[in-house]
Amino acid sequence: MRARGVRTMPENGPGQPAGDGRRGRRRDRRALLLAAAGLALTGSVLAGSLPPGPGHTATGRTGESGQAEHAAHTDDEPVPSAAREECQDGRDPDESYAPARIAGPAVSEIRERGQLVVGIDLNSYLWGYRSPQTGDIVGFDIDLVQAIAEDLLGPRPDIKYLAIPTDQRERAIQDGTVDMVVRTMSITCDRWERVAFSTAYFETGQQLLVPANSPIQGFDDSLDGMRVCRANGSTASKLLDAESHGAQVVGADNHLDCLVRVQLGLADALMTDDALAAGHVAQDPSMRLADEPLTRESYGVAMNLANTDLVSWVNAVLEDYRAPGPDGEPSEWRQSYDRWLARYLYDEETDPPPAPPLPQYRD
Amino acid sequence: MTHPPSAPPASPPAPAVPPAPARPAPAAPPEVPRRRTAFAEGAARLRAAARTEPGRLRIIGAVVAGLLLLLGGVTFAEISARAADADTVRGGSQPLSARAAEIYRSLADANTTAAAGFLAGAQEDPETRQRYERDIDTAAALLAEAAARSSGSAEAQRYIAVLNEALPDYTGLVETARANNRQGMPLGGAYLRYADERMQETMLSAAEALYALETERFQDDLDDARAWPWASMVTGLVVLSVLLWAQRRHYLRTNRVFNQGLLAATAATTVLLVWLVGAHAVARSALTDADENAAQSLSALYGAWTEALKARGDESITLIARGAGSESEDSYRTHMDRLAGEEGRPEGSLLDKAHALADDAEGREPVERAIEATAEWRSRHTDARALELAGEYQDSVNMVIGPEDTTGESFDAVDASLAAAVDHEQAEFTRAANDGHSALGGLRAAAVVLTLLGAVGAVLGIGRRLSEYR
């Protein structure tokens, strides 16, 4: 079930790395078959009622060419509530500055300092947390920070990690406390007003997480009379404010506190994005994601609006980070994905191979 | 002792003179025929008796003896009540209040220790674990005892029920936190924060209310024990004036200066009165001493102790929250300010109060140590916080729970000094309360014996006069 929730991610990410070719081919065949089935379905059923099924996935898998494919997806997105945000100027919030390694003032300052100061989260399992065994800060976000810092400062870079509360991320960037924030931070038009984002490095969406035996089917009338927990001030809280389907909303300081409440029977479900939900499932395998994601959003590295040179630099790092190695070995992105997330987000049997979202650049 | 030359014949004791029901009789009941005959009969006989000197003497003897017996009874009853109050204070309500404080302290200590142990994670010191378990055991045992003892007040029982119910929930949350933490899951931290929240919001507030309730009752008992025995004192004075009047009358009628029996009765009454006032003054001052020098010190010390525990808990929770917000750091500052006052301004803080209330060097010394250790703790905390804010998380953790030169070390010093101070003041209290209680010791027996002797003396003395008429 949990795999269903993640399916959105690889949809627009076709980068199947070479390597496990045979399995890949087999899946290709199956995917094509399913695609055919999907097309047949499309023929017989009204387009609007087409459920997000295997056919959709198959389409995503066929092409290797980037942006057009991605756009096409957004167009025929079958879950209306999961529409991607579009900014007032008609731009996709995921669009960022073109990649370039030019040492402008911001990059130079970091290099002179010899230290990268990064705002992170220490409470998101798999993303950014402190391993109690080693005491090290680890996770998917942290791998990316390492890659950026190595690119900026050379091998064994000096990185200063600052744990930043959610509501202080933007301020820390604006007042220069940190050079960047890599902290499961969604790119939104609103945030673009105050901070700059790199290209997207992960795709996710809000989703309901419920105990395995829960009668809750998804974001629908099965929520009636249930208690749904969400972090105060989160995207989930906006969603639930707009439409609760008869659910009673329970607030908590953060998404992890919601998991505590569900485990203790003080809430019946929680809503957060599926990337963080993966961390929840990892910590409590008896939880499952219900139905499809309700939104589509991307994580980006947030930086100061003025530091366009740094943004471009990070985008250049991300280009390399997404690209498979010259000898066909998986990309750094994929390696990190496999290390942290694959076990919880990726079902080999049913899912297309995971791939990073494709970068979009401003003209 | 002054006595008016013409003392009115036994004026005030009207309300309580059993052997002389005659007094109100002339005020004749209006229209109850039967009663009237009975009253009238008695009144007539009394009037007849009052016309002859032997009759008068008999009446006087009966009144004096009755008054003396009354004095004995009143004093016995009143002093019994005072002694019982003093005993309740000493053996009941003060220990109940102290135990409520201990429930509060052990719960707060458990919470603080759980947080410190959690911070250490897999490297948790077994001593920390034992301390947590000891705290929980202590709290559970005290709660069971309190449920059985706490003077049956419904309000107290309600708080105890809340605590009894919440305690296993709390320990369950802490264990879940530990288990998750040991598996490397941040969920553990969320559980611990939730456990901390339950502790602060539900349990510590109930324990605080219980402590306030028991302390209020203790203060009430203390006030009761300290109240002057007015009924005994007034009765004693009445008896004395009646005796003096009887002797003056005797002197005027016989020209004999002394009637030995009446004199003995006067002496017995005087001794009893002096004893009563003296013993009570001693008991009262001992109890006042127990209150002002010990109980108030104890209350300030317990207050300081719990603030220290809360500040220490917040310090750990701040690190456990790992940048999830600054509420715990703010809360730390609030508790620290209550404990030691704002930076550089200790006036009015709980430690300052405890120091001012400590009445001897022995009591002041541990409080001074606590003040010193708190200052050290504070400065170390500032350093640890700076490290945390600079991203040196592990160094900050080491500075909070590490073995040397840590805030933990300073906190332990504060904790130990306050424990010593509490022990000292508790001993002071018990000693003073014992003094107060024992001051009333022989008084009850003395009241009975002296008033009986006095009554016998009065009856013999009057009997001697009567025999002159045979």
Euclidean distance between CA atoms A341 and A355, whole angstroms: 12
Token pair recorded at residue B327: 């509420």
- Calculate mean pLDDT across residues B337-347: 87
B interface test, pick of A254, A256, A266 with most B CB neighbours within 10 Å: A256
Nearest to B71 by CA among B334, B462, B461, B453: B453
pLDDT given at position A61: 34
Euclidean distance between CA atoms A221 and A213, whole angstroms: 17
Token pair recorded at residue A221: 């009338």
pLDDT given at position A142: 96
Q: Do A130 and B322 touch (CB under 8 A)?
A: yes
pLDDT given at position A55: 37
3-state helix, strand, coil in chain A (%, to 5): 40, 15, 40
Q: Do A122 and B322 touch (CB under 8 A)?
A: yes
Q: Do A122 and B190 touch (CB under 8 A)?
A: no
Instruction: Give me the residues of A, 222-261, that contact B with CB < 8 A.
Output: 253-254, 256-257, 259-260
Euclidean distance between CA atoms B277 and A70, whole angstroms: 99
Q: Which of B121, B187, B193 sits opposite A283 (nearest CB)?
A: B187
CA B446 to each of CA A314, B228, B283: distance values in angstroms, whole numbers, following the listed order: 97, 18, 16
Nearest to B222 by CA among B283, B282, B152: B283
Euclidean distance between CA atoms A78 and A163, whole angstroms: 38
Binning pLDDT at 50, 70 and 90, where does residue B138 land? very high
Q: Do B190 and A125 touch (CB under 8 A)?
A: no
pLDDT given at position A83: 66
pLDDT given at position B106: 94
pLDDT given at position A187: 92
Q: Do B187 and A125 touch (CB under 8 A)?
A: yes
3-state secondary structure of A114: coil
Q: Quote the minimal CA–CA distance from B110 to chain A in Å.
A: 21
Residues of A in contact with B122 (CB under 8 A): 132-133
Euclidean distance between CA atoms A156 and A213, whole angstroms: 47
pLDDT given at position B150: 56
Chain B residue with CA closest to A280: the answer is B187
Tell me, yes or no, if A184 comes closer than 8 A to chain B by beta carbon.
no
pLDDT given at position B86: 86
CA angle B330, B128, B322 (to 5 degrees): 35
Binning pLDDT at 50, 70 and 90, where does residue B240 land? very high
Q: Do A161 and B391 touch (CB under 8 A)?
A: yes
pTM of the prediction? Answer: 0.75
| Cβ proximity of B320 and B273 under 8 Å | no
pLDDT given at position A30: 55
- The answer for residues whose C-beta is within 8 angstroms of residue B64's C-beta and 6 or more apart is B239, B242, B243, B246, B262, B265, B455, B458, B462
pLDDT given at position A21: 43
pLDDT given at position A54: 39
3-state secondary structure of A196: strand
B interface test, pick of A283, A284, A286, A340 with most B CB neighbours within 10 Å: A283
pLDDT given at position B96: 86
CA angle B110, B340, B397 (to 5 degrees): 50
Higher-scoring residue by pLDDT: B254, B7? B254
Chain A residue with CA closest to B183: the answer is A132
pLDDT given at position A69: 36
pLDDT given at position B253: 84
Tell me, yes or no, if A138 comes closer than 8 A to chain B by beta carbon.
no
pLDDT given at position A305: 96
Q: Do B389 and A162 touch (CB under 8 A)?
A: yes
Euclidean distance between CA atoms A141 and A201, whole angstroms: 10
| Cβ proximity of B122 and B182 under 8 Å | yes
Q: Do B186 and A123 touch (CB under 8 A)?
A: yes
Nearest to B322 by CA among B182, B188, B122: B188
Which range is least confidently modeled, A26-30, B160-164, B236-240, B327-331? Answer: A26-30
Q: Is the pLDDT of residue B301 over 70?
A: yes
Q: In what order do the strands lie in the sheet with A302-304?
A: A158-163, A115-120, A180-181, A302-304, A195-197
| Cβ proximity of A204 and B365 under 8 Å | no
- CB atoms near residue A349 (< 10 Å): 6
Residues of B in contact with A260 (CB under 8 A): 187, 190-191, 194
pLDDT given at position B151: 60
| Cβ proximity of B234 and B274 under 8 Å | no
pLDDT given at position B319: 87
Q: Do A259 and B187 touch (CB under 8 A)?
A: yes
Percent above pLDDT 90 for chain A = 51
- The answer for residues whose C-beta is within 8 angstroms of residue B349's C-beta and 6 or more apart is B337, B338, B339, B340, B341
Which range is least confidently modeled, A141-150, A345-354, B61-70, B144-153? Answer: B144-153
* A324 DSSP 8-state letter: P
pLDDT given at position B328: 86
Residues of A in contact with B393 (CB under 8 A): 122, 130, 137, 161, 163
Sign, Cα dihedral of A41, A46, A49, A50: positive
Token pair recorded at residue B388: 């945390």
Tell me, yes or no, if A122 comes closer than 8 A to chain B by beta carbon.
yes
Q: Do B186 and A125 touch (CB under 8 A)?
A: yes
Positions in chain A whose pLDDT score sits under 70: 1-83, 132
Nearest to B238 by CA among B15, B5, B55, B446: B15
CA B112 to each of CA B107, B318, B369: distance values in angstroms, whole numbers, following the listed order: 9, 12, 21
Residues of A in contact with B187 (CB under 8 A): 125, 256, 259-260, 280, 283-284
Compute the count of residue pairs across chains A and B with CB atoms less than 8 Å apart: 75
Residues of B in contact with A122 (CB under 8 A): 186, 322-323, 393
pLDDT given at position B105: 92
Binning pLDDT at 50, 70 and 90, where does residue B36 land? low
Chain A residue with CA closest to B118: the answer is A132
3-state secondary structure of A195: strand
Inter-axis angle of helices B350-357 and B361-389, nearest 10: 170
Q: Is the pLDDT of residue B124 over 70?
A: yes
In this predicted model, what pLDDT tens digit does every residue of A130-168 receive, in sequence order? 876 777 889 999 999 999 999 999 999 999 998 887 778
Q: What's the mean per-residue pLDDT of chain B?
A: 86
Three-class HEC string of chain B: CCCCCCCCCCCCCHHHCCCCCCCCHHHCCCCCHHHHHHHHHHHHHHHHHHCCHHHHHHHHHHHHHHHHHHHHHHHHHHHHHHHHHHHHHHHHHHHHHHHHHHHHHHHHHHHHHHHHHHHHHHHCCHHHHHHHHHHHHHHHHHHHHHHHHCCCCHHHHHHHHHHHHHHHHHHHHHHHHHHHHHCCCCHHHHHHHHHHHHHHHHHHHHHHHHHHHHHHHHHHHHHHHHCCCHHHHHHHHHHHHHHHHHHHHHHHHHCCCCCHHHHHHHHHHHHHHHHHHHHHHHHHHHHHHHHHHHHHHHHHHHHHHHHHHHHHHHHHHHHHHCCCCCHHHHHHHHHHHHHHCECCECCCCHHHHHHHHCCCHHHHHHHHHHHHHHHHHHHHHHHHHHHHHCCCHHHHHHHHHCCCCCHHHHHHHHHHHHHHHHHHHHHHHHHHHHHHHHHCCCHHHHHHHHHHHHHHHHHHHHHHHHHCCC
Percent above pLDDT 90 for chain B = 45
Euclidean distance between CA atoms B420 and A223, whole angstroms: 57
Identify the top-confidence range among A6-15, B83-92, B99-108: B99-108
| Cβ proximity of B262 and B458 under 8 Å | yes
Nearest to B401 by CA among B104, B105, B131, B174: B131
pLDDT given at position A26: 52
pLDDT given at position B469: 78
Contacts 24+ apart (CB under 8 A), B368-374: B369/B413, B369/B417, B369/B420, B370/B304, B370/B413, B370/B414, B370/B417, B370/B418, B370/B421, B371/B340, B371/B346, B373/B410, B373/B411, B373/B413, B373/B414, B373/B417, B374/B308, B374/B336, B374/B339, B374/B340, B374/B410, B374/B414
Q: Which residue has the tokens 């070719």?
A: A21
- CB atoms near residue A286 (< 10 Å): 9
Interface of B with A (CB under 8 A): 121-122, 176, 180-182, 184-187, 189-191, 193-194, 321-326, 389-391, 393-394
Tell me, yes or no, if A171 comes closer than 8 A to chain B by beta carbon.
no
Residues of B in contact with A232 (CB under 8 A): none
